Homo-oligomer: A and B are copies of this chain.
């Protein structure tokens, strides 16, 4: 089944880094780029990387001019001990895909079984032929575990071979001082503090220089043939050399188990590591291969979207959903990084991408994982409170624009901290979670506090102007091509929604008297303050232009010249890499959906006519230089019944990484766009929305799709939704009957 596998049958030497990303394996904790077992460093462009989500180094951020309240230190996800290297020597000739003759090559990512496989038929320069099958698993059920199964079959000879397996603690991050989307700090972050061999187990401990974290990497090997093992230990690496006799057409099975434990999760990560490794050896590789299948079977059962009639789209979509599962942090320390655990782009940071682009998928298909993501935000609330104080707010919380551990580490505040909408985005996801799950307890224990504290800061940055309208000045909206503006439509709309829902949270909180009292005391909030929020909501100023009948992105947006797109050469995109920010600020030009995103999230705030005007207006001036853009334009094109446009934007987004449309997938996948592709189907083609607490559908099936089928959870029901050329069909799989609205017609699903 092609659609369950991503397959490449030619080895593209020039774009190896892209392949490393596309075929990387991860499980929310551990991420391994597909850098192959041969060591290509110095031979082709490679980022040979293994990462742990939430495991980072800090460094003082250097500023040419440092002002009060600037983020103090960076946080960078770390490339940890390399275990990918396995070298194969056949009588003096070393196997490498870069030499000899490749008679067959196949790289496969299997989405159903959760492995990456590489199959090669290779003929050495001296004429020796081998079949090499390599299979890798990063286990979903034992998150510290990475297995390489390296099978060798000599096809036309017998003799001696040598397999050298390496554990290498001498690792670095990459740097790219010209691209602000990649870290610019120093590259060598980890010291090797332990390097030892115990009962043929190789163990290396890496320690950070500043953040006081360590990671233990252990490796052990299995070979299905008699062999002679020779171990060479240096101060920061260990070589395991296996010599063995092979016979023509007899398969050698070589297995390398690697276990990674960090000091963030385990107080004694050395002991825990070896305990896990022992358990792994006892269970054996088949156990994990089987468990992987079971785990993924469960995942696809609830989360798959079937697209009938468009294979490329089906492939892109499944790939994306699989990557979201690979990327999502499953413990309290982690969230979803902008690049997942697939590379070093954006330094492994968490942005609003999670809250606005990715959480909908998990909230509707797997509330357990969604809850964990929200808990990460709750757990960093105290840091957000401290940040708010630093930013001059007497109370409330301000979430960081980009972070790993909850502290702000945006080094350019006009496109970072100034994006106060992060507060509203996070609050929005807590509200949505409540609407989808009806989980009052979660709202009482966590959500309400987040809503109140974020609302306080949004209230504090605004004020009632001379006309009595509530205005919010000097913020940056989602579109980073215009920074520090007044009354960004998106920010104001989202703040309004947040203010509105503090009342909902307040009422729900009241139902639990004890918790109500506790929280009131803890953050000193009272009914008066909720009323103030209400007043701000009632009087929220929303920019509107009477002439053009559109919502300007902010107060002064329409006073600017439109960017000269005609005379902008194609190679000057993305614009941020070719123009000074001030140049961009001075024009009507958008990096991404901003007002259009506001319309998607809060359609209730305006009319469909105006949305149409806005869509037409902003479409002309949006470059989609951000990967967060086309999915929103696709959804809103669907909403406006622009069938072809909706499809075009969608396919652009759904295959963004697979087809490397932004030319930077080599630095990692684009998780927000992946979440956006789920939204493009569910909120776009199927037109699903929550309105007045009910599910609404307003479907528009693109012409070259025959059928869309997926499941969602909503208010304790599991529903299956099938859209085909004729109609939208909704089936109740479990739970009580429920009323939904299809094209505004009420229907009872039972």
Contact = CB atoms under 8 A, between A and B. Distances in A.
A64 B184 contact: yes
A411 B461 CA distance: 27
A550 to B, nearest CB: 13
Interface in A392-414: 392, 409-414
A48 to B, nearest CB: 25
B556 A64 contact: no
A67 B576 contact: yes
Contacts of A473: 556, 559-560, 585-586
A522 B180 CA distance: 37
A577 B413 contact: no
A165 interface: no
Given A177-B66, A473-B556, A579 B392 contact: yes
A556 B555 contact: yes
A565 interface: no
Contacts of A177: 66
A105 to B, nearest CB: 39
Count chain B CB atoms within 10 A of each CB in A61, A63, A415, A579 and give the residue with the most: A63
Count chain B CB atoms within 10 A of each CB in A66, A391, A466, A586 and give the residue with the most: A586
Interface in A564-609: 576-583, 585-586
A301 to B, nearest CB: 42
A64 B465 contact: no
A184 B66 contact: yes
B578 A68 contact: yes
A483 interface: yes
A463 interface: yes
Copies in the complex: 2
Interface string A454-487: 0000000101011000010110000000011010
B65 A180 contact: yes
A63 B66 CA distance: 10
A44 to B, nearest CB: 27
B586 A178 contact: no
A735 interface: no
Nearest to A60: B177
Nearest to A577: B68
Count chain B CB atoms within 10 A of each CB in A180, A418, A473, A578 and give the residue with the most: A473
A392 B580 contact: yes
A123 to B, nearest CB: 48
Contacts of A193: none
A71 B581 CA distance: 12
Given A461-B586, A561-B463, A412 B67 contact: yes
Given A64-B71, A184-B64, A411-B64, A391 B582 contact: yes
Nearest to A392: B583
A180 B178 CA distance: 25
Nearest to A73: B64
A193 to B, nearest CB: 28
Nearest to A471: B559
A62 B62 contact: yes
Contact of A582 (B418, B463, B486, B585): B418
A159 interface: no
A417 interface: yes
B74 A64 contact: yes
Contacts of A547: 466
Given A64-B74, A486-B556, A585-B484, A580 B471 contact: no
Given A473-B560, A580-B392, A64 B64 contact: no
A404 to B, nearest CB: 15
A390 interface: yes
Contacts of A409: 64
A62 B65 CA distance: 10
Contacts of A412: 63-65, 67
Given A471-B559, A556-B473, A180 B579 contact: no
A581 B463 CA distance: 18
A559 B484 contact: no
A127 interface: no
B184 A63 contact: yes
A309 interface: no
A284 interface: no
A67 B391 contact: no
A63 B411 contact: yes
A257 to B, nearest CB: 39
Given A473-B586, A556-B556, A67 B461 contact: no
Nearest to A420: B582
Given A62-B63, A69-B582, A413-B581, 14 more contacts: A64-B412, A65-B410, A65-B411, A66-B177, A67-B412, A68-B578, A69-B579, A70-B580, A392-B580, A414-B414, A414-B484, A461-B586, A473-B556, A484-B585
Q: Which 7 A/B pairs are nearest by Cβ-Cβ distance?
A: A64-B411, A69-B580, A62-B62, A392-B583, A61-B64, A65-B412, A474-B585
